Structure 1
């Protein structure tokens, strides 16, 4: 996989957009604010296969920005803002781990896989899942948590919570929704294929490389330590050497052997 990705990066790397997830986060936040003011705007962006067939083709792209359920509580804008800032952190971290090009591919795959999942639901099951737009964000969350499980958030500004717990809880909710519906199970697997097929294998490969590198470093240090501890002079009479008895002085006798001064032949 690395060779294929490297080949693609050499050919198309100039097309990559640094900070792509950041830009998406800003658009998500703007869409949320518009939806809070006028819910019909969000409904005009959401995936609706019948309306797409009627000519509203922009829904094939805009659905990713407009989940069907938009919170309208008094603190909604604050939580949405913090969500945007979290995506900024996720963006910088993934680009550090993968590079800009591979992060762009991950996002593009996530969009296309969610679009494919929506089309499968419409054409095969003749239905549409709720909140299909959140799956791209969920895949980004899962990828970040996979690489940075110890990253800690302060829930309600007082409760420290590692990001892996939040990701696991999100995955548990999605998994439970799959148990009651084969349609949702198919949709979820397809929509999250960018995480399942790309992020997880890449993390395993990285972990394997880290273990191999750690073993090499440990072996090198062990060899260096061994070299440092190998005595240069060993007394042929008493066995003392310059490592175990650094205070002694050693000489080479006429017979070619090393001796400490105490046992040096006259």
Structure 2
């Protein structure tokens, strides 16, 4: 068991289900505040100097600041990240998804406090960071996108509901854009990008079984694929079938199927049951 398994056994009951919905509702509320009561926005920003003076609500209220100020972009963002976030939660389970989101928020808060300490000791002034850059959840949503693309790289989505494109290519575009803004942006932008990417890297590299990328494991998979190909044919010519729900790629072309390395035998699962099924021993 890795560290996430141990945490889930102890604290899994405290996980917040449908966390994506709460996050997106917060964006909508923050968008309304931005246009209806713009002066109130100053009470929501992540400002270490003011937090240390007692305004502790700022530790979490900055999550309400939406990633975009354009209404059309916000609508597309809400629709896209609702589907991505709920799919990730179904794949990982509520607890792991909670850990991923809250660790991204925590890393951002810690990075901003580090930036505050740097300005304070390097320049001898207590700078208001909102004058440097406004910290929003833009790059936390980016980490959701990257996580989904890492799990389902070949899944196709309709960009702006028109252009079909695979997740892995959209992820490449996201990373290039993040690198551009990291180079050209201010220190606040760099802190936000660095915190979100750090969250993605730590979560994946500390929780995934990296042995499956080894030469022996790759050879085993290739040998199994050659041996099982003639026998993996189901009703109506389907080549994949979930051992839990029985769905095939003919039921839903967007379904992704994977074999479980922890089950004794060749059991294949769809994306909804890959991480939630009981292992066959």
Q: Give the TM-score normalised by the residue count of structure 1.
A: 0.68
Deviations 1:239-260 (A, max 9, x none): xxxxxxxxxxxxxxxxxxxxxx
Name the counterpart of 1:228.
none
Contact 1:16 1:101 in 2 (8 A): yes
Name the counterpart of 1:101.
95
Contact 1:17 1:100 in 2 (8 A): yes
Inter-partner Cα distance in structure 2 for 1:34 and 1:186:
25
Contact 1:33 1:77 in 2 (8 A): no
Q: How does 1:81-120 map to 2 (within 5 A)?
A: 81-120=75-114
CA, structure 1 residues 213+5, in 2 after alignment: closer, same or farther (shift >3 Å)? farther
Give how far 1:166 is off: 3.3
Deviations 1:14-69 (A, max 9, x none): 111221122211221222122222222333211123332333221111112215x7
Residue 194 of structure 1, aligned match among 188, 199, 205:
199
Inter-partner Cα distance in structure 2 for 1:123 and 1:16:
32
Give how far 1:110 is off: 0.7
Residue 148 of structure 2, aligned match among 136, 144, 152:
144
Residue 116 of structure 2, aligned match among 119, 122, 127:
122
Q: How does 1:18-97 map to 2 (within 5 A)?
A: 18-66=17-65, 70-71=68-69, 76-97=70-91
Name the counterpart of 1:230.
none
Say which SS state the counterpart of residue 71 (structure 2) adopts: helix
CA, structure 1 residues 146+115, in 2 after alignment: closer, same or farther (shift >3 Å)? same
CA, structure 1 residues 185+45, in 2 after alignment: closer, same or farther (shift >3 Å)? closer
- Give the CA RMSD over aligned residues: 3.4
Inter-partner Cα distance in structure 2 for 1:179 and 1:47:
22
Inter-partner Cα distance in structure 2 for 1:216 and 1:117:
46
Q: How many residues align?
A: 219
Identify which of structures 1 and 2 has the higher relative contact order when contacts are C-alpha pairs closer than 8 Å and 6+ apart: 2
Question: Where does the alignment leave 5 or more consecutive residues of structure 1 unmatched?
Answer: 225-266
Give how far 1:192 is off: 2.7
Inter-partner Cα distance in structure 2 for 1:98 and 1:119:
30
Larger helix percent: 1
Question: Where does the alignment leave 5 or more consecutive residues of structure 2 unmatched?
Answer: 121-126, 232-281
Name the counterpart of 1:168.
172
Say which SS state the counterpart of residue 2 (structure 2) adopts: helix
Name the counterpart of 1:11.
10
Contact 2:147 2:200 in 1 (8 A): yes
Deviations 1:171-217 (A, max 9, x none): 22221233357945455333432101113554674964995874574
Contact 2:20 2:85 in 1 (8 A): yes
Name the counterpart of 1:234.
none
Inter-partner Cα distance in structure 1 for 2:119 and 2:167:
34
Inter-partner Cα distance in structure 2 for 1:3 and 1:81:
38
Instruction: Report the more deviating stretch, 181-190 or 31-40.
Output: 181-190
Contact 1:45 1:65 in 2 (8 A): yes
CA, structure 1 residues 11+157, in 2 after alignment: closer, same or farther (shift >3 Å)? closer
